[in-house]
Amino acid sequence: MAKPVRYKVRNYVKGDEIAVAKILSECFGPVAPRRLVEWYRRNDVHPEDTFVGIVDGKLVSSVDLVSKGLHHGEGAYLQTAGVSGVCTDSDYRCRGIVSNLMKLAFDKSRQRGLSNASLYTGLDNSAHRIYERLGFVDVMTWRTYMKYMDYPFLFARWLRELNRSLKDSKAAVKRLEGWGKSAKIVLKDVGTLAFRFKKNHFQRLAKPPKRTNIELSTDLETYAKIRRGVVQWEDAVKDGKLSVIKGEPTDVEMLKRILRWKWDE
């Protein structure tokens, strides 16, 4: 736990969406304030359903509650306090702010007569542990079916997304500082894809340079699963589905972080 800070908790007021969108972007990828307001409206999230943490006048954390009726069997639909948009500015994490916001949100839910709360998160997400401590239980993971038709296009799009995410992620910028390396990824049935990181920018390389720093070979399915965090890099190597042809261990480690976009310890 980092050093505690003094903070206030209040409900959403118009204009907060700019700061909330910025923190959400840092945590989950680009979110525009306009999209956030649209989402509030679509899900009937009223200002009193959004709890924000304020440190020295700066909005640093947010939690939303969405009321939904969930089928509990035999035609019984019980109202649930759907927890959403949980995020904290990376400079203010591990200080118990978001846990407290959630506790306050649950007190409010109890007062409104709700018996339960529910949420979606990632098993590999550090927030998962916070939710468990708050009494949440894993009920079900989900399954995705994917079909790639033009992977080089998706690869270019992914690099653009990385550049956008980089703008909001202080942790990523700090780690990638001075790391000017290139990577070549040979995907069976797709071809060779390459990129480099130079001057704080990811850049797609139409042709891989003769001397790449990292080179790996795998199949599209394994590569996609590693990026989604479903398959661990080490397991794919062990199973012979991924081979690292070239690369210093520290560079490979950095590539793993880039693929998963995981920068928290």
**Under rule CB under 8 A, residue 129 binds another protein:** no
Q: Is the dihedral of CA 202, 205, 211, 212 positive or negative?
A: positive
Backbone angles phi, psi at 38, to 5 degrees: -60, -40
- Is the Cβ of residue 29 or residue 54 nearer to another protein in the bound state? 29
Binding mask 153-172 for another protein (x = CB under 8 A): xx--x---------------
**Under rule CB under 8 A, residue 119 binds another protein:** yes
Distances in Å between the Cα of 87 and the Cα atoms of 42, 81, 127, 129, 242 are 20, 17, 9, 14, 34
**Under rule CB under 8 A, residue 141 binds another protein:** yes
Residue 98 contacts residue 64 (beta carbons within 8 Å): no
Range in contact with another protein (rule: CB under 8 A) among 2-10, 69-77, 89-97, 208-216: 69-77
- The DSSP letter of residue 66 is E
**Under rule CB under 8 A, residue 106 binds another protein:** yes
- Is the Cβ of residue 22 or residue 262 nearer to another protein in the bound state? 262
Distances in Å between the Cα of 170 and the Cα atoms of 18, 79, 126, 135, 175 are 18, 38, 17, 30, 9
Among the listed residues 9, 19, 37, 114, the single contact to another protein using CB under 8 A: 114
Among the listed residues 15, 56, 139, 206, the single contact to another protein using CB under 8 A: 139
- Is the Cβ of residue 22 or residue 108 nearer to another protein in the bound state? 108
Backbone angles phi, psi at 224, to 5 degrees: -65, -40
Range in contact with another protein (rule: CB under 8 A) among 14-22, 68-76, 187-195, 236-244: 68-76
* Spatial strand order in the sheet of 242-246: 201-205, 191-198, 182-188, 214-219, 242-246
Residue 60, burial from CB neighbour count under 10 angstroms (0-12, 13-18, 19+) = buried
Among the listed residues 3, 137, 177, 199, the single contact to another protein using CB under 8 A: 137
- Is the Cβ of residue 32 or residue 245 nearer to another protein in the bound state? 32
How far apart CA 104 and CA 51 sit, in angstroms, is 8
**Under rule CB under 8 A, residue 126 binds another protein:** no
**Under rule CB under 8 A, residue 32 binds another protein:** no
DSSP, collapsed to helix, strand or coil, labels residue 219 as strand
Q: How far is the CB of 6 from another protein (least distance, A)?
A: 28
Residue ranges in 209-238 that form contacts with another protein under rule CB under 8 A = 221, 224-225, 228-230
175: CB partners within 8 A, 6+ apart: 254, 257, 263
- Could you tell me which residues are beta bridge partners of residue 187? 191, 218
**Under rule CB under 8 A, residue 144 binds another protein:** yes
Among the listed residues 36, 66, 172, 236, the single contact to another protein using CB under 8 A: 66
Which residue ranges make up the site for another protein (CB under 8 A)?
Answer: 42-43, 66, 68-78, 80-82, 84, 106, 109-110, 113-125, 128, 131, 134-151, 153-154, 157, 221, 224-225, 228-230
